[in-house]
Amino acid sequence: MIKDREVLEEAAEMLKAIAHPVRLCIVRRLWRKGACNVTNMQGCLDVPQSTISQQLGKLRQAGIIEGERQGLEVWYSLKDDRVIKLLEILFGRQKHEKGNSK
């Protein structure tokens, strides 16, 4: 039996959550640009808003991102520091821009 099975399962779930091109693009954008809303992401991703919303829901459910309501919009940002470290490994040590897109 694997001693740290729970830790491994949690890591596998986090990796599965970002292992989709649209979700990976979303988290990379949030890492590079800071908080964004669905409209900002749609202009960058060139996919329907419904697709982005669906993928945001999966990332949120996995605890990778969080949303903050501002008026009628929800601004999303990265929540999981492990994902930030993975993005640095995958895409270089480019830090995200300090200013948010808000």
Domain count, the chain: 1
Mean pLDDT of all residues belonging to the chain = 88
**How many whole angstroms from its chain centre is CA 19?**
11
- Rounded Cα–Cα distance for residues 74 and 80 (Å): 18
Per-residue pLDDT of 40-77, as tens digits, reads 888 778 899 999 999 999 999 999 999 999 999 999 99
Dihedral sign of CA atoms 24, 30, 32, 36 in order: positive
Does the pLDDT value for residue 102 go beyond 60?
Answer: no
- Indicate whether 31 belongs to any domain: yes
Does the pLDDT value for residue 100 go beyond 50?
Answer: no
- Indicate whether 41 belongs to any domain: yes
Residue 100 or 94, more confident = 94
What is the domain extent for residue 59? Answer: 5-91
pLDDT band at 95 (very low <50, low <70, confident <90, very high): low
- Indicate whether 98 belongs to any domain: no
